[in-house]
Amino acid sequence: MSLDLIDVALFVRVCATRNLSAAGREFGLSPAASSARMAQLERQLGARLLHRTTRQIALTQDGEAFLERALPLLEAAEQAEASVGGAGQHPQGLLRVAASVSFGRLHLMPALPAFLAQYPGIRLDLRLSDRVIDLAAHGIDVAIRIGPLRDSALVARTLAPSRLWLCASPAYLAQFGTPQRPEELARHQCLVLEGTNPWRFRDGKEVVSVRVGGRMQSDNGEALRDAALAGLGIALQSTWAMYQQLKSGALVRVLAGFPVAQQAVVSAQYLNRNFLPPKTQAFIDFFAARFGPAPYWDDGLP
């Protein structure tokens, strides 16, 4: 039995999108052709891979087992292609990238024209979401994430530091005063990103933990930055998210003498595998060079 790799790749995308027509469009296939290819794959394997109804698609038990084998199969094919004919020097193919909404809009999007111009053989599928996406389940090649590596099945390469500062507008501080110690934050309007309470600071060798609160919280950092700009409170933000406002004076740093304890990094995370496709390597190398240990957003900040 000889499997058609297009059928296998189509199956993987159907699993990721849960939509046969949408997956087929990525391959230039009509819904009828996509359905025929899936039926052909199931006949060759002698197993039902998908439960299909008019409303949803779900994997069968055989489908789940085949998906685990399908991804390494496609990676091996890509590795074989990259090893001959100079393909390694010319990264190509569809690259699926995941990133948070804020970081993607602020720091990936402005650089993508240059990246795509440098690598004309690469097509990009960019997924911006503040959810942590399962890379294997969604067929993601690389995710740009802020914070520690939480999945042992992934490999992480640090692209840049992500320094956390407290910030507020001059108008807020003029009205409510400037806190002098972390403990005073409990009496202020604090703009809290979901899942980040309490806030922790270094006081010499000790760590001070403060449970903060206020009239607004959100699951989106840009929304809280904008709330701070509007004078609604004090926000805990990465410098990459507010560097322009800090440099203009629209936001000022608060409690500079008490560094935030939970500092983080920007990293490229990808599935643990022995071979990294040239297209993925090219993307990671491009942004590692663009950001680096002293990223442009920290230029001019203390």
Give the pLDDT confidence of 33-76 residue by residue, as tens digits.
888 998 999 999 889 999 877 677 888 999 888 988 887 787 77
Neighbour-count burial for 153-190, b at 16+ CB within 10 Å, e otherwise:
ebbbeebbbbbbbbbbbeebbeeeeebeebeebeebbb
Contact present, 298 and 292 (Cβ < 8 Å): no
Answer for the pair 103, 126: CB distance below 8 angstroms, yes or no: no
Residues making up the chain, counted from first to last: 302
Which residues lie below 8 Å from residue 84, measured CB to CB, with a gap of 6+?
Answer: none
With a cut of 90, say whether residue 288 has pLDDT above it: yes
CB atoms within 10 A of CB 233: 23
Average pLDDT over residues 125-129: 91
Q: What mean pLDDT value characterizes the chain?
A: 88
Confidence of residue 170 (pLDDT cuts 50, 70, 90): very high
HSE of 81, CA atoms in CB hemisphere, 13 A: 15
Euclidean distance between CA atoms 269 and 46, whole angstroms: 36
Question: How does strand 234-238 pair with strand 190-193?
Answer: parallel
Q: Which two tokens stand for residue 138?
A: 């969604």
- Identify the band that residue 255 occupies on the pLDDT scale cut at 50, 70 and 90: very high
β-strand pairing of 164-168 with 50-52: unpaired
Residue type, 73: L
pLDDT at residue 189 is higher than 70: yes
Backbone φ and ψ of 24, nearest 5°: -60, -35
Residue 20, both tokens = 């046969």
Instruction: Evaluate if residue 83 carries a pLDDT over 70.
Output: no
User: What is the per-residue pLDDT for 263?
Assistant: 80
Number of helical H runs and strand E runs in the chain:
11, 14
pLDDT band of 275, cuts 50, 70, 90: low
Residues of the chain with CATH 1.10.10.10: 1-84
The per-residue DSSP string of 42-90 comes to HHHHTS--EEE-SS-EEE-HHHHHHHHHHHHHHHHHHHHHHTSTTGGGS
Question: If you classify domain 164-262 with CATH, what class do you get?
Answer: alpha beta
pLDDT of residue 54: 65
pLDDT tens, 223-247? 999 999 999 999 999 999 999 999 9
Across 132-136, average pLDDT: 80
Helix (H) or strand (E) holding 23: helix 20-26
Which part of the chain has CATH 3.40.190.10? 91-161+264-302, 164-262
Q: Which helix (H) or strand (E) holds 96?
A: strand 93-99
Residue 25 or 229, more confident: 229
pLDDT exceeds cutoff 80 at 149: no
Q: Which residue has the tokens 């599928």?
A: 125
Residue 80 has pLDDT above 90, yes or no: no
Assess whether pLDDT exceeds 70 at residue 184.
yes
Q: Which CATH number fits domain 91-161+264-302: 3.40.50.10860, 3.40.190.10, 1.10.10.60, 3.20.20.80?
A: 3.40.190.10
Q: How confident is the model at residue 132 (pLDDT cuts 50, 70, 90)?
A: confident
What percent of the chain clears pLDDT 90, i.e. is strictly above it?
55
User: Does 2.40.30.170 match the CATH number of domain 1-84?
Assistant: no
Is the per-residue pLDDT at 117 higher than 70?
yes
Confidence of residue 151 (pLDDT cuts 50, 70, 90): low
pLDDT at 291 over 90: yes
Looking at residues 159-166, what average pLDDT do you find?
Answer: 95
Segment holding 238, helix H or strand E: strand 234-238
pLDDT at 86 exceeding the cut of 70: no
